[in-house]
Amino acid sequence: MYLDKYNLGGRVAVVTGGGQGIGLCCAQALGEAGAKVVVAELHPERVESAREALRKQGIAAEGAVLDVTDSTAVEALAERVARDQGHIDILVNNAGVAVSDVRAEDTSDAHWRMHMSVNLDGLFYCCRSFGRRMLERGSGAVVNIGSMSGFIVNKPQPQSFYNASKAAVHHLTRSLAAEWGGRGVRVNAVAPTYIETPLTRFGMQNAAMYKTWLEMTPMNRVGQPEEIASVVLFLASDAASLMTGAIVQADGGYTCW
Ligand code: NDP
């Protein structure tokens, strides 16, 4: 009875930024649970390699080149997936950028805009376009990838633009959950600690910075992308049927101190 709740057979999932890192693991986790997965990613070569890797694992995977900051393209993809697949059940808003270690006073307009545009605007466009189709059917689950940076201020690298964008993702998650909760669509978020992906390479290769990251974390380690994907799988599944508006911290205890 309980394990059945994780069965995503017959469901269609879209994962943005799913070509590598956390997104690719989310696609694998949802696919292993039986969902058909659409990897929507900026880089065509990553769309292709992700689709191939997933298919080799026996997962029904499709790919789509998508820039989440292009609201017209997001709407077109939602329309296409709904038409081709018949329905959209799960959306994982994972696409995000972090070019950190830039002080607030040195942050250019372009740098600020890039983070807001991908991390917040793009996530909203996807919620709006895919969410509208879920609301029409009266069911669906959205999982947003937030960050512990939406709760705390990272140390030692300054990254006010990123922290602000992720705090906004958390509150957008709660706002949509409240709006859509009575109409069958759940909206939750995961707030990870540092996860070993290309996005955090800059810090893990800097011995002093990496040491601080570990010292700040009760579990004294960074996370692996699969450790976020398993939380995403839970939130996307019926095992989390009573959960909406939750920001689940998967952070090795970072936010305890
Ligand atoms: P990666 O950079 O490894 O993967 C993200 C993928 O999304 C990349 O292929 C990236 O391309 C792509 N992408 C970037 N912009 C867009 C766009 N406009 N449209 C579609 N795809 C895009 O990141 P992670 O796997 O590490 O992170 C995934 C999510 O998790 C992000 O939202 C991140 O903020 C969040 N997160 C990550 C943490 C970590 O420590 N890694 C910690 C907390 C949260 P490109 O390489 O060109 O940017």
Cα-to-centroid distance, 71 and ligand 1 (Å): 18
253 domain-assigned: no
> What count of other Cβ atoms lies within 10 Å of the Cβ of residue 203?
20
Catalytic annotation, pick one of 125, 162, 194, 254: 162
In this prediction, residue 112 carries a pLDDT of 98
Cα-to-centroid distance, 225 and ligand 1 (Å): 11
132 domain-assigned: yes
256 domain-assigned: no
In this prediction, residue 27 carries a pLDDT of 99
CATH of the domain at 29: 3.40.50.720
In this prediction, residue 218 carries a pLDDT of 98
Cα-to-centroid distance, 2 and ligand 1 (Å): 32
Asked if 195 and 213 count as a contact pair (C-beta separation under 8 A), the reply is: no
252 domain-assigned: no
Tell me which residue range forms the domain holding 125. Answer: 3-246
pLDDT tens, residue order, the chain (257 aa): 899 999 999 999 999 999 999 999 999 999 999 999 999 999 999 999 999 999 999 999 999 999 999 999 999 999 999 999 999 999 999 999 999 999 999 999 999 999 999 999 999 999 999 999 999 999 999 999 999 999 999 999 999 999 999 999 999 999 999 999 999 999 999 999 999 999 999 999 999 999 999 999 999 999 999 999 999 999 999 999 999 999 999 999 999 99
Does residue 162 have an active-site annotation? yes
Structure-token match 């700040």, residue found: 216
Asked if 1 and 26 count as a contact pair (C-beta separation under 8 A), the reply is: no
Instruction: For residue 223, give the DSSP letter.
Output: B
- Cα torsion angle, 231, 232, 235, 238, sign: negative
Counted domains in the chain: 1
Q: Check whether the bond before 156 is cis (ω within 30° of 0).
A: yes
Q: Tell me which residues have their CB closer than 6 angstroms to ligand 1.
A: 16-17, 19-23, 41-43, 46, 66-69, 94-98, 118, 122, 145, 147, 192, 194-195, 197-200
Protein residue whose Cα sits closest to atom 23 of ligand 1 = 199
162 domain-assigned: yes
77 domain-assigned: yes
pTM summary value: 0.99
241, two tokens: 């049927």
68 domain-assigned: yes
